[in-house]
C-alpha cells in the first residue's frame, strides 16, 4: 500500500527513533533504467547511486544527479520501504518490491542486491548460471544478470539486468572500484 | 570583460558578473561526501548567457551536460544513455542556474557571506519550498566565481573548485549543442 502522507525531507531517516544499526557495506556507481509502465509509457532515468547495505533487507539507496545533487533516497527495512524526495517528502510502501513496482513497473527484490552487485547469486534463492559472449550470466528471481564488463579480479564493472518476461526492461549498472 | 568596483560586496560583484555578456570557461574539480568515500570528479566547463552551459566530466568517467539555452542533454558514456529535459525543469534552483544568471537568478535570495580563503562569498538560498538545495555559497575573486559549496535537501555536501577561469572567453560555436552518439538510448523528458 502507498500512504500519501508526505513529510518534510529528512524526517523519515529513522522512523522508529534511536540510532540505526551500522551499515555492513557500501557500493557506488551509476545506473540507467529503461522500462515501460503498465500503459506502455517509457520510463527511463539515469543517476549516480550510493547504496548502503545493512543486515537482511535493510538498505539505503541515494540517487544523485550529475551535478552532485541527491534527487531521491530509498530506504528498505524489514517492516517496509520508503521513498523520500525534496518535492514529495516521504512516501511509504509495504516493501521494496512494491515501491520499485510502482516507480518502474518492475518489482526489484531487496535482499539479492548485495550478491548481484558482486556477480553472485543470492544463496537464499534458486539460481542458474550460464555464459554469453564469454561472460558469465546469472539467472535468479526472474532476472538475467549479465556481467557485461569485468575487472581483472573478475568482479563486475558493468552489469546489465534484463527479464525474459519484460523485453522492455534494461537496467545498466556501472560500479565504482 | 567587466572590471569589479573595488569596494563593492560579493552580491554587487556577482550581479555585475551575471549581467556581463562575456562567457566563462575553465576547469572544475567537484568533491562530494558520498557515504564514507570522498567522490571526486573533474573536467571542463563553459557558460554563456542566456542559459548556455557545458559541464564535461572527464575523470574518473565521462559524463556531459549541455544546455543550448532551451534544452539540457545529460549523457553518460558508460551507460550510453542520453536524457533530454527542458532547461527550466532540469536546472531550476541549482548551482548552474545561479551561474547562468538572468531570470534563473530570481529563484534565489542572496546574502553577503563575508571574506574567507581569500574569496568574497555570497550565500544563495532557493526561494521555493520543495527545492533541491538548502544552501549554495559562491566564492568570488575579482567578481569571478572560483568556488561553490553546496548542501542539498539530504544534507549531502559538495564543493566545486574552479581553475583556469577565463571570463572573456569565446567558446567554440558547437560548445552548446549536442548530438547523441549512434546507438545511445535517448529519452525525452
Each residue's pLDDT tens digit, B73-93: 999 999 988 888 888 777 666
**C-alpha distances in Å from residue B154, one per residue of A8, A54, B129:** 11, 20, 14
Q: What b-and-e string marks burial along A137-171, b requiring 16 or more CB atoms within 10 Å of the CB?
A: bbbbbebebbbbeeeeeeebbbbbbbbeeeeebbb
3-state DSSP of B161-189 = EEEEEEEEECCCHHHHCCCCCCCCEEEEC
Question: Got the DSSP string for A81-109?
Answer: EEEEETTTEEEEESSHHHHHHHHHSS---
Residue B187: CB atoms within 10 Å: 17
* Residue B17: strand, helix, or coil: helix
The percent of residues above 70 in pLDDT, for chain B, comes to 89
Interface of A with B in 23-62 (CB under 8 A): 26, 28, 30-32, 34, 42, 44-46, 48, 50, 52, 62
B106-165 per-position pLDDT tens digit: 778 889 999 999 999 999 888 876 567 888 899 999 888 899 999 888 988 899 999 999
* pLDDT in the model for residue B125: 85
Task: Give how far the C-alpha of residue B99 lies from the chain's centroid of Cα atoms, to the nearest Å.
Answer: 5
Most confident of A4-8, A23-27, A66-70, A159-163: A159-163
Interior angle at CA A41, CA A38 and CA A42, nearest 5: 115
Rounded CA gap, B60 and B42, in Å?
8
Binned at pLDDT 50, 70 and 90, residue B3 comes out as very low
Contacts of A69 in chain B (CB under 8 A): 94, 132-133, 150, 152, 156
Give every CB contact of residue B179 below 8 A, 6+ residues apart in sequence.
none
Residue A5's φ and ψ, nearest 5 degrees, are -100, 80
Residue B21 is predicted with a pLDDT of 65
pLDDT for B170 = 85
Over range A67-84, report the average pLDDT.
91
Contact between chains at A46 and B36 (C-beta distance less than 8 A) = no
Number of other CB atoms surrounding residue B167 within 10 Å? 18
Picking from A36, A50, A150, A51, the residue whose alpha carbon sits closest to that of residue A104 is: A36
Phi/psi region, residue B26 (left: phi>0; alpha: psi -120 to 50; beta: rest), is left
Mutate to test the interface with A, among B28, B79, B91, B161 (most CBs of A within 10 A): B79
> In chain B, which among 38-97 make CB contacts under 8 A with chain A?
39, 55, 57, 60-61, 63, 65, 74, 76, 78-81, 83, 94-96
The whole-angstrom separation of Cα A30 and Cα A83 is 19
pLDDT at residue A7 above 50?
Answer: no
Residue B154: which of A10, A65, A87 has the nearest Cβ?
A10
Question: Residue A87: which residues within 8 A CB-CB, separation 6 or more?
Answer: B130
Report whether B9 contacts B120 (CB < 8 A). yes
Which is higher by pLDDT, A39 or A127?
A: A127
- Model confidence at B2, pLDDT cuts 50, 70, 90, reads very low
If you average pLDDT over residues B13-29, what whole number do you get?
Answer: 85
Task: Name the pTM for this structure.
Answer: 0.82
Tell me: pLDDT of A81 over 70.
Answer: yes
Stretch 124-153 of chain B: residues touching chain A, C-beta under 8 Å: 130-133, 150, 152-153
> A55 pLDDT exceeds 70?
yes
Among residues B167, B146, B118, B135, the alpha carbon closest in space to that of B17 is found at B167
Of residues B161 and A68, the one with the higher pLDDT is B161
* One-character DSSP codes across chain A: --B-----TTTTTTTTSSPPPPPSEEEEEEEEEEEE-TT--EEEEEEEEEEEE-STT-EEEEEE-TTS-EEEEEEEETTEEEEEETTTEEEEESSHHHHHHHHHSS---STTHHHHTTT---TTS-EEEEEETTEEEEEETTEEEEEEEE-TTS-EEEEEEEETTEEEEEEEEEEP-
More confident residue, A16 or A26: A26
Scan for cell 511509504, then name that residue: A92
pLDDT at A3 over 60: no
Amino acid at each position: 500500500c502507498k500512504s500519501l502522507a508526505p513529510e518534510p525531507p529528512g524526517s523519515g531517516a529513522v522512523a522508529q527513533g534511536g540510532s540505526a544499526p551500522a551499515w555492513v557495506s557500501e557500493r557506488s556507481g551509476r545506473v540507467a533504467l529503461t522500462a515501460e509502465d503498465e500503459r506502455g509509457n517509457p520510463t527511463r532515468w539515469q543517476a549516480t547511486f550510493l547504496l548502503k547495505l545493512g543486515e537482511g533487507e535493510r538498505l539505503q539507496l541515494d540517487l544523485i544527479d550529475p551535478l552532485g545533487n541527491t534527487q531521491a533516497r530509498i530506504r528498505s527495512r524489514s517492516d517496509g520501504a520508503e521513498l523520500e524526495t525534496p518535492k514529495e517528502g516521504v512516501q511509504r510502501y509495504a516493501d521494496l518490491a512494491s515501491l520499485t513496482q510502482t516507480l518502474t513497473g518492475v518489482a526489484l527484490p531487496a535482499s539479492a542486491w548485495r550478491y548481484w552487485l558482486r556477480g553472485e547469486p543470492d544463496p537464499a534463492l534458486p539460481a542458474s548460471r550460464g555464459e554469453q559472449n564469454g561472460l558469465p550470466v546469472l539467472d535468479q528471481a526472474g532476472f538475467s544478470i549479465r556481467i557485461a564488463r569485468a575487472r581483472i579480479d573478475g568482479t563486475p564493472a558493468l552489469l546489465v539486468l534484463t527479464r525474459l518476461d519484460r523485453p522492455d526492461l534494461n537496467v545498466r549498472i556501472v560500479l565504482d572500484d | 570583460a567587466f572590471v569589479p568596483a573595488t569596494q563593492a560586496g560579493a552580491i554587487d560583484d556577482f550581479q555585475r558578473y551575471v549581467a556581463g555578456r562575456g562567457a566563462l570557461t575553465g576547469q572544475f574539480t567537484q568533491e562530494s561526501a558520498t557515504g564514507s568515500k570522498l567522490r571526486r570528479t573533474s573536467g571542463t566547463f563553459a557558460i554563456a548567457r542566456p542559459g548556455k552551459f557545458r559541464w564535461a566530466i572527464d575523470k574518473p568517467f565521462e559524463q556531459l551536460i549541455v544546455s543550448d539555452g532551451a534544452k539540457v542533454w545529460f549523457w553518460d558514456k558508460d551507460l550510453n544513455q542520453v536524457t533530454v529535459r527542458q532547461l527550466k525543469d532540469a536546472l531550476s534552483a541549482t548551482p548552474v542556474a545561479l551561474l547562468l544568471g538572468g531570470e534563473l537568478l530570481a529563484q534565489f535570495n542572496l546574502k553577503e557571506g563575508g571574506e574567507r580563503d581569500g574569496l568574497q562569498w555570497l550565500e544563495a538560498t532557493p526561494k521555493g519550498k520543495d527545492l533541491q538545495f538548502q544552501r549554495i555559497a559562491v566564492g568570488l575573486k575579482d567578481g569571478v566565481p572560483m568556488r561553490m559549496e553546496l548542501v542539498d535537501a539530504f544534507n549531502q555536501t559538495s564543493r566545486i573548485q574552479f581553475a583556469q577561469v577565463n571570463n572573456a572567453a569565446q567558446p567554440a560555436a558547437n560548445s552548446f549543442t549536442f548530438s547523441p552518439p549512434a546507438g545511445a538510448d535517448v529519452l525525452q523528458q
